[in-house]
Structure 1
Amino acid sequence: MDPGVVSARLASSAVAPLVKKLFVSAGAGAGLVDRPVRVSSLVSFSGEKRTLTGRDLVKIATELLRRALGPVSAHERPIAAAEEEPVALALAHTLYRLGELEMDDVQAVQLGAPTLVRALKEAGPDVTRDLSADAAQLHDTLLDNACLHILHFFTQRSTFVARTLVRQSGQLADVIAKTDLLLARTPAPFSKDALFEERYAAHIVNKHGMLTIYGIDLSRSPDQWPLDTAYLSLEADLAHETRQAPIRAEHAFHGRDRVLLRGVAGSGKTTLVQWLAVTAAQQDINVIGSGDSALVPLIRRVPFVLPMRTLTRQHADLPTPEEFLSRTRCPLAAAQPPGWADRVLAAGRGLILVDGTDEAPANVRERARRWLQDLLSTYPGNLWLVTSRPSAVRDRWLAAEQFTELSLAPMRQHDVTSFIHRWHNAARSVSAEEERHLLDAYEVSLNLAVRTKHDLARLATNPLMCGLICALHCDRRGYLPSGRKELYEAALSMLLTRRDLERDMAPPDGIELTEEPKIRLLQRLAYKFILNGKAELDRSHAERIIEQTLPGVPVAAAQGDAFAIFQHLLLRSGLLREPAVGSIDFIHRTFQDYLGAKAAVEEGDMSLLVLRATETQWEDVIRMAVAHARPGECAEFLMDLVRRGDSATSSYRRSQLHLLATAAVEHATELAPRVRAAINERAGALIPPRNLAQANDLAGIGTVALELLPGPDGLTDDEALFTAHTAVLIGGDAAIPVLARYQAHPTPQVRQLLCTAWHRFDAVSYAESVLSGLVGTGVYLEVTGAEELAVLGRMSSPRQVRVAAGFTSSDLVRELRADRLTHLWLPGDQSVTWYWLAAFPRLESLTLGPAEEPIDVSSLAAHPTLRLLRLPQHQLIAGRDSLGDGVIVSRFPHDGEFGHD
């Protein structure tokens, strides 16, 4: 292959950051020195200043190779795919010789890149012995390019004796500049692709690298916060796997490449999409690769963020790959090289993020599924994430396409506490000194309120609601509304009126509207969004709606025309935004649904709501309509839902309508007993749940369902399991007494579910009420956090414990009960040696989970009582023959399979 072609692909912007990682950085304030420095003392992968491991060095070499090969199809690649890893390993071994060189940095620069290359190859002459001729030549070309940048890096260090080497430094800079110029001018597709991908990655980071934290409206407060600061890692449950432990949502692609993610409004679906896109675009292989191995699949990926609301706004068809950027209004669409998106996807380098399937019209969703099928069959090997509200698409909607279904779990107490802390930290960062002291006090009092007030805890289940609660608590000096309707009313008051009034801000556009006319205009706009089945409208359409509404709102009509009033609402309401030129949407769907429901009730469209009740996009509108309706209207509306459910010919429709009526009841301020009884009777036919789908449906109702969940008496084993699972999904303090009824259930799967669910609840309350009754039941108690481990040390019951990653051996020795523990389940890489297990003399069995490296179990032979060791079969490598006659090595169960002796 032509070495010049490889070099042309390696712009300085691509190579320099990788080379920089090979060396330690100069200390702060370092200046020129009067003597050279040995090269071996500068490397970051050996010696006292070591910050990189050998594995990190391999990752750098792999990334350098990846950037050299570029985004070309398999038949255009200069070496076979099977040879890429050996080339990267050989390059890593050669670069490792930098730590053995006797020459100093001045000598290296004076002698030049060819001499440095020769010295490294002489130090490791056999690294390319087993490579093909093409692969060896590729190794040498990569090494030549790396050495050129290494020497240039030396000349840029503040401690380099630059005054004696001006000429050499200038020559190196000139060679690198010419390489960059060659790359910019060459007509080859790979070079244009690489240049464009750098621009596109910067665009993704810039566009999606900020999050809106709703309601922070203190003085000098920005509207957005950096994603890496504001992002909160949440959990996701694997659908159809009742005994599988939850995973972190950002680990969706760990072990899977096609994911359908469900989540309620405000649960963080779009935020996760942003985080995945930005993480892939940044391509920091040290952060992704070494920081969290579950994120490795994101390396080398090109993200495509495809909001369904935008894709379907003006077009009946869905885009081809070449149209991805233009249809999402990416400003770089016209600059993409012809065929670029096809080359990316054909090479299996794409990260396709289809966000908000529920925001597409119902008649488009099946077409979207066929669109996905075509893309999947044409472009295998990419990563695919599709998000949706829970009931917008049917169960196993993409199962035939091998999608794994995940559901974002409600925030648990630890998540809520973390969110509250991050929110107040963000507010403190832009506040005056006196405000910071107030914010400290607000944070403490809000944490206490969320823990002790049941109604408030029910609301704080997703990032959106937590953000509103934090904002309102601060805005109202510690006062909080109790119900969802009151919460939204208070949030609207804060966003629409009080923010500007309390800042003493004069209207910048000369328009002054009070809260009521703003709400009238916005609710009419929201209702039109809903009636049109859209989450996004053309700006001209939105202005026409305001124009039609203005005659009924004279105080607004007197201050300007439709354009001026709409512009005022867009800029000052805090509820509307223009994500792309000419496109308007609400900042969040929940505000749209709340205001649209208010308009529907005021316009007397309750019958229309009943007709639309089976359409998933209307579910929250119907619930909020119950909150807005007067008692008589509310009763008749709910009975109409019940009657329509009774007359449904489909059992699915019947259950859907009855559950919707049950879910809506909790929003009714006043309701006739006969109506409540009729609804409860229908709900009783659906309880207890008999499968996972029914459990998920019931959990969607919320805490109302907890009152209807029965105890274990008279239930089959499956009914008991799914009833307990429903209570776990609903969560909150109110679920604890329900789960306590199942602590002595004879089925191990039910008791194991109680042990696995501990992390979703307050650690102390759950341990006292539920776990204390599980003495001697033969199931593993799962510990995932420091608070749980601390509580565990005070419990007398647990004999069998499963511990998550993140704890040190000292933590476990200190907290676990040595006089009780008989069975322990640990991550495979918990320890290098296992001598510390001698602290548990009664330990009978040890289960080790999978590990990246082979596990050395030879030290277990010294344990006096250990009789059972479970390991992944493929990892029975080290120490197998030294375990002793009394120790049995057996198959490791699948994750989620809880066995006991």
Structure 2
Amino acid sequence: MSGTEVALLRLATTVIGAAAKALLTPRPGAGLVPDPVRPIPRPAKPDRLAKVLAGRMADAFADLPEHERLAALTSVQDTFAAADEPDAGRLFALELDPERLRAELSAPAAGLSARAVNLYEDLLGHCCAHLVEQLTAHPSFAARAAVEQVRAAGRTRELVEDVRDRVGPRPDAADLDFERRYAEFVATANGRVELFGLTLGRSAGGWPLETAYISLSVSGYEVDGGHGPGQPVRASIGIEQALGEWDRLLLRGPAGSGKSTLVQWLALNAARQTFDGELADWNRCVPFVLRLRAFTALDALPAPADFLRAAGVPLHGSAPAGWADRLLQQGRALVLVDGVDEVPDRLRKRTERWLRDLIAAYPRARYVVTTRPSAVPETWLSGSGFEPHSLLAMSQEDVRAFIEHWHRAARSECRFLALCHPFVMESIGELPVCEQVTELELLRQTRYLSLEGLERWTSLRALSLYGVTHLRQLSRMPSLHNLERMHLMYMPNIDLELMAPLTRLRKLFLVAGDQQLDLTPLGGLTSLTALTLHGDEEPFDLAPLAPSEHMTIHLTHNTRVTGAELFPPERIVRLP
């Protein structure tokens, strides 16, 4: 017998011995291998496993030198010899998986070549599979398996009950169906926001909130050792952090600080289940948006069953009986109370009692209440566990971020855009390009804003300007010389020669102010067909424009002109 055959027999004896001690009446095993080595009805003999392993080596490792084969075989035998006895409990813990058993065993001995390691791994895998196969044929296996299944079922039941305790009982089908419909309504109703201080030539439908919204900062407290042990000092924190730390929040901020927009954002994300980070757990919540100004005429503030009706939700008649009550009891309700400052002074005590009663009846729900600082003190509702925070004014960086978000929201839909305030910008180039805007109006407050960068707005076809420097800059922007309509307003010392490059201009609205303008350069704009003049100081001289046969002059009320007799009557139109 060769050395390899001896090593194979020793390995097979070790593996079979680990399982064969208790085998009395062989039965069908788990079917893990197609060639089980146990004879029926007698227990397996080591030489049968040795024969299987020898065939494995002959098929895949015939070219491996014998000394390397012996080293690999010895390493596998040592691994099994060093391992604890693989009893049934251990195998059930491994879910009867030979691969998991193999992973538990030690690594091959040091010094094996790469090919010898491959042989080691191959033999170890086969030995683990045959070992599990042998142990599943033990007479006690079926009974032990039944016990393990019962125990596993018990553990599963305990886990399910634990999850149910934490998330509450499963709502019935009617609740789930209405919750879905209500979430769709809330997402639609709160998905858009008005941007005040902005003029847009479109219906007042607002802009996508998820695009325009920027995260706000609030005042908070941190423990700073520099102010004494454990002494809290006021600090600035993100609104998401504050909301994530407290289930009851009183947010105070002046008009325009973003309180109502924040309420919209919270309702929208709760309805869409799109919270992340610190607020990920809020995706379980169903939002109730309660704007207090809508309740001032009511004899009493609404109970949970009347939340939807009082808030003007058209679906209120379809809500299953007790639906809001169940959400509040389970801690899945997000109660958003907006505008304590909009409640008359005589009704604020009533509002406070209403909130305290809600919290007493439904302590597991989440509450966010907003107000102006002048309406209630910081300690208002502190006895009910509310944490007060003040919304902070936007920093310069926040303002820039707001402008970028606002443009991102607007440029996806708007065609007409009017900038009425330059914010902290020095140049139009600081704004992202609104590709779809075809008409831009720069109002009086922007007359010192540089137009550098506007040449990238190649979709523009109409432009309104207040600053004389704007026209000078425009004349040097060939990409904008395709403008078709322009408004020039109150530009002192304007030189209309600067309009010569605008060879496609069709309509011009000119507000002169208190100066007399020389209209001669406009005669060279052969595409200009409509000129509207406004001015109640110096008269306009129309004589230089008489040769322009296709131009119609529109005059606003009280606008005086000379040379009108040189035009056919139908080409001089007095506007009401």
Tell me whether the two structures share a fold, i.e. TM-score over 0.5. no
Structure 2-normalised TM-score?
A: 0.44
- Which structure features the higher share of helix residues? 1
**Structure number with larger C-alpha Rg:** 2
Structure number with greater CO (CA < 8 Å, separation at least 6) is 2
